[in-house]
Amino acid sequence: MAGLLRAALRVVETGYAGAIRWRNRRYDSGAAPSHRVGVPVVSVGNLTLGGTGKTPMVHWIARSLEQQGVRVAIVSRGYGAADGGANDEAVEMRRLLPNVPHVQNPNRVAAARKAIANTGCQLILLDDGFQHRRLARDLDIVLLDALEPFGYGHVFPRGLLREPIDALRRADAVVLSRADLVAPSRRTEIWQTVRRHAPEAIRAEVMHAPKVLVSADGKELPLGEICEKPVAAFCGIGNPEGFRRTLESCGCQLAAFREFPDHHRYTPSDLEQLAAWCDNLGVEAAICTGKDLAKLAVNRLAKTSLWSLQIEMDFLAGQDELASRLRTLCPLG
């Protein structure tokens, strides 16, 4: 049975990868058009399914350009949004970047044009845009998670790759996220693979640095006030292992860790179960991600206080080169 399953997955993988390559060839040849919208477009995306740290990267770029006087708007598909509302990523971005407009629409060309018309922005920041090729971009940034950068070497459904590894040739910059969680020798191996496919790309390494705990009503708490005690933690994101490792890296004593599907929509029943889970563990606090708290919108799970871990991106290498490239895209001020 295992052999038959592997064979079936190989057949599906071959077909899926072939379809992706055919689609990319159409864009590369011009048979399928990419549309320019009149302002520079920076795409932040990844090569694999799951979380690689796109949100901290989008936050860093938007904040950096905003501080330089560049009017930025974020455009995204809005995956997981309910009833036409903002999804968890948009809610979190609204809190982190209150002055940066965020337009969500599966038609990202239309979203970009709407953002320009309504806000007069000078640059579009395309969130999760590497595979979306209808909107032409001036800078393609691809994030690779150091914990599993190449999706086990196979395209979905056999592995976690969204498209074959050779798609990295389109990347203008490759950023290795969570680079601090792997040995230097492993980083070298990853970069050797990247160089084979994108030899001219800017290379950078970042870590996800926990900064503070934040409640649903905006109260902040230093990490040490909770992380010195046993806590429960949970998340519904694409890379739960990365979140767990980040919690452990900042000294959190995890009494238990629970995973939900990516973009999980929490129900009243989920809240009751989480509250009972925390109560049974005997913990005083529970920690989730900012995206999870945006959907939960509560300060407590019954007796247990609930906090999100605010994570920011710290560069280990390559910051100056990437920042310099961004500055060339549009006039400042």
pLDDT of residue 166: 94
> Fold identical between 8-208+314-327 and 209-313?
yes
Residue 332 pLDDT level (bands cut at 50, 70, 90): low
- The per-residue pLDDT for range 80-127, each reduced to its tens digit, is 555 555 666 777 777 778 889 999 999 999 999 999 999 999 999 999
Q: Given a cut of 60, is residue 162 above it in pLDDT?
A: yes
pLDDT more than 90, % of the chain: 67
Measuring CA to CA, which residue among 235, 239, 242, 243 is closest to residue 264?
235
What is the spatial distance between Cα 186 and Cα 241, in angstroms, rounded to a whole number?
Answer: 18
Q: Where are the domains of the chain?
A: 8-208+314-327, 209-313
Whether the Cβ atoms of residue 223 and residue 251 lie closer than 8 Å to each other: yes
What's the rounded mean pLDDT across residues 313-331? 92
pLDDT of residue 94: 79
pLDDT of residue 97: 85
pLDDT of residue 209: 85
pLDDT of residue 246: 87
What is the spatial distance between Cα 233 and Cα 257, in angstroms, rounded to a whole number?
Answer: 5
Question: pTM value?
Answer: 0.86
pLDDT of residue 333: 45
User: Which segment of 43-47, 270-274, 327-331 scores lowest on mean pLDDT?
Assistant: 327-331
Mean pLDDT for the chain overall: 90
- The per-residue pLDDT for range 231-283, each reduced to its tens digit, is 999 999 888 888 898 898 888 899 999 999 988 889 999 999 999 999 999 99
E runs forming strands in the chain: 41-46, 72-76, 102-104, 123-127, 139-145, 173-177, 202-214, 220-221, 230-235, 253-259, 285-289, 300-301, 304-317
- Domain 209-313, CATH among 3.40.50, 3.10.20, 3.40.1000, 3.30.70: 3.40.50
* Secondary-structure class of domain 8-208+314-327 per CATH: alpha beta
Q: Given a cut of 60, is residue 218 above it in pLDDT?
A: yes
Q: Is 259 helix (H, G, I), strand (E, B) or coil?
A: strand
pLDDT of residue 134: 96
Residue 200's region, left for phi above 0, alpha for psi from -120 to 50, else beta, is alpha
What's the rounded mean pLDDT across residues 55-77? 93
Whether the Cβ atoms of residue 75 and residue 126 lie closer than 8 Å to each other: yes
